[in-house]
Amino acid sequence: MSNARQPRSYTLRVWRQPSSTTEGKLVEYAVSDIDPDSSFLEMLDHLNENLVKKNEEPIAFDSDCREGICGTCGVCIDGRPHGPIPHVTTCALRMRDFADRSTIVVEPFRAKSFPVVKDLVVDRSAFDRIIEAGGYVSVNAGSAPEANMIPIGKDIAESAMDSAVCIGCGACVASCPNASASLFVGAKMRQMVLLPQGAVERKHRALAMVERMDREGFGDCSNHGECEAACPKAISIENIATLRREYMKAIFR
Amino acid sequence: MASMPQTIPNGDGLHSGAPGGPIETRWDRHRFEMKLVNPANKRKYTVIVVGTGLAGGAAAATLGELGYNVLNFCIQDSPRRAHSVAAQGGINAAKNYPNDGDSVWRLFYDTVKGGDFRARESNVYRLAQLSVNIIDQCVAQGVPFAREYGGLLATRSFGGTQVSRTFYARGQTGQQLLLGAYGSLMRQLETGRVKMFARREMLDLVVVDGHAKGIICRNLVTGELERHAADAVVLATGGYSTAYFLSTNAVNSNATAVWRCHKRGAYFANPCFMQIHPTCIPLQGSAQSKLTLMSESLRNDGRIWVPAKKGDPRPPDQIPEAERDYFLERRYPSFGNLVPRDVASRAAKHACDEGYGVGTGQAVYLDFADAIQRLGQNVIAERYGNLFDMYREITDEDPYKLPMRIYPAPHYTMGGLWVDYNLQSTIPGLHVLGEANFSDHGANRLGASALMQGLADGYFVIPYTLGNYLAGTRPGTVRSDAPEFGEAEQKVRGVIDHLLGCRGKKTPREFHWELGRLLWDECGMSRSPEGLTQTIDKIRALRAEFWENVHVAGSGQELNQHLEYAGRVADYFELGELIAIDAQQRNESCGCHLRVDHQTPEGEPIRDDENYAYVAAWEHTGDVSKPRLHREKLEFENVHLTVRTYK
pLDDT-derived band of residue A2, with 50, 70 and 90 as boundaries?
Answer: very low
Chain A neighbors of B554, CB-CB under 8 A: 57-58
Is B190 in contact with A124 (Cβ distance < 8 A)? Answer: no
CA angle B215, B221, B227 (to 5 degrees): 20
Handedness of CA B342, B344, B349, B351 (dihedral sign): positive
* Distance from the Cα of residue B482 to its chain's centroid: 34
Identify the CATH number of the domain in which residue B491 sits: 1.20.58.100
Share of chain A above pLDDT 70, in %: 98
Name residues 102-141 of chain A within 8 A of B (Cβ). 117-118, 121, 123-125, 127-128, 131-133, 135-141
* Distance from the Cα of residue B90 to its chain's centroid: 15
Nearest to A128 among B153, B176, B186 (CB): B186
Please indicate, yes or no, if residue B305 is contained in any of the structural domains: yes
Is B144 in contact with A195 (Cβ distance < 8 A)? Answer: yes
Q: How many alpha carbons fall within 13 Å on the CB side of residue B446?
A: 31
Is A52 in contact with B507 (Cβ distance < 8 A)? Answer: yes
Nearest to B144 among A58, A146, A191 (CB): A191
B406 shares its domain with B492: no
Please indicate, yes or no, if residue B18 is contained in any of the structural domains: no
pLDDT of residue A241: 98
What one-letter code names the amino acid at B10? N
* DSSP structure string for B345-375: HHHHHHHHHTT---TTSS-EEEE-HHHHHHH
B403 shares its domain with B284: yes
CB-CB contact of B236 with B434 (8 Å): yes
pLDDT of residue B383: 84
Nearest to B183 among A136, A152, A168 (CB): A136
Q: Above 70 in pLDDT, residue A3?
A: no
B403 shares its domain with B499: no
What are the φ/ψ torsions at residue B306 (nearest 5 degrees)? -135, 160
Domains detected in chain A: 8-118 (3.10.20.30), 125-252 (1.10.1060.10)
Please indicate, yes or no, if residue B334 is contained in any of the structural domains: yes
CA distance A193 to A203: 10
B489 shares its domain with B400: no
B495 shares its domain with B400: no
Chain A neighbors of B460, CB-CB under 8 A: 141-142
**How distant is the Cα of A92 from the closest Cα of chain B, in angstroms?**
7
Last residue of a domain, one of B410, B425, B457: B410
Chain B neighbors of A128, CB-CB under 8 A: 78-80, 186, 189, 196, 198
pLDDT-derived band of residue A4, with 50, 70 and 90 as boundaries?
Answer: low
- What residues pair up with B417 in beta bridges, in sequence order? B268, B437
**How distant is the Cα of B88 from the closest Cα of chain A, in angstroms?**
10
pLDDT of residue B386: 85
**How distant is the Cα of A146 from the closest Cα of chain B, in angstroms?**
5
Identify the CATH number of the domain in which residue B401 sits: 3.90.700.10
CA distance B608 to B483: 47
Closest residue in chain A to residue B563, using alpha carbons only: A58
Handedness of CA B237, B243, B247, B251 (dihedral sign): positive
Alpha helices in A15-165 (DSSP H): 40-53, 125-134, 154-164
Is B141 in contact with A168 (Cβ distance < 8 A)? Answer: no
Please indicate, yes or no, if residue B458 is contained in any of the structural domains: no
Q: Average model confidence (pLDDT) for chain A?
A: 96
Mutation target for B interface from A38, A140, A200: give the one with most B CBs within 10 A. Answer: A140
CA distance B613 to B441: 14
**Domain coverage including residue B537:** 483-607
**How distant is the Cα of A248 from the closest Cα of chain B, in angstroms?**
23
Q: pTM for this structure?
A: 0.97
Last residue of a domain, one of B377, B410, B443: B410
Please indicate, yes or no, if residue B645 is contained in any of the structural domains: no
Q: Above 60 in pLDDT, residue A219?
A: yes
Report, as an integer, the average pLDDT of A4-17. 94
- B286 interfaces chain A, CB cutoff of 8 Å: yes
pLDDT (tens digit per residue) in A162-200 = 999 999 999 999 999 999 999 999 999 999 999 999 999
Please indicate, yes or no, if residue B149 is contained in any of the structural domains: no
CA distance B111 to B159: 11
pLDDT of residue B7: 41
Q: How many alpha carbons fall within 13 Å on the CB side of residue B424?
A: 25
B389 shares its domain with B505: no
Please indicate, yes or no, if residue B431 is contained in any of the structural domains: no
Alpha helices in B77-221 (DSSP H): 104-114, 121-140, 173-191
Convert B279-310 to b/e letters by CB count within 10 Å (16 or more is b): bbbbebbebbbbbbbbbbbbbbbbbbbbbeee
- B129 interfaces chain A, CB cutoff of 8 Å: no
Name residues 12-51 of chain A within 8 A of B (Cβ). 18-19, 34-35, 37-38, 42-43, 45-46, 48-49, 51
pLDDT of residue B506: 97
Please indicate, yes or no, if residue B51 is contained in any of the structural domains: no
Nearest to A137 among B141, B507, B559 (CB): B141
Name residues 58-97 of chain A within 8 A of B (Cβ). 58, 60, 62-72, 88, 92, 94, 96
pLDDT of residue B432: 98
CB-CB contact of B403 with B369 (8 Å): yes
Last residue of a domain, one of B410, B432, B448: B410
Mutation target for B interface from A72, A127, A158, A185: give the one with most B CBs within 10 A. Answer: A72
Q: How many independent structural domains does chain B possess?
A: 2
Report, as an integer, the average pLDDT of A9-27. 97
Is A34 in contact with B183 (Cβ distance < 8 A)? Answer: no
Eight-state DSSP code of residue B283: P
- Give Rg (Cα) of chain B: 24
B402 shares its domain with B522: no
CA distance B163 to B92: 11
Stretches in chain B below the pLDDT threshold 50: 1-11
pLDDT of residue A5: 80
- B254 interfaces chain A, CB cutoff of 8 Å: no
Name residues 626-645 of chain B within 8 A of A (Cβ). none
B382 shares its domain with B494: no
pLDDT of residue B602: 85
Nearest to B221 among A34, A63, A117 (CB): A117
B285 shares its domain with B403: yes
Handedness of CA B514, B515, B518, B524 (dihedral sign): negative
pLDDT of residue A1: 39
Is A161 in contact with B284 (Cβ distance < 8 A)? Answer: no
B284 shares its domain with B406: yes
Closest CA to B205 of B232, B224, B239, B223: B232
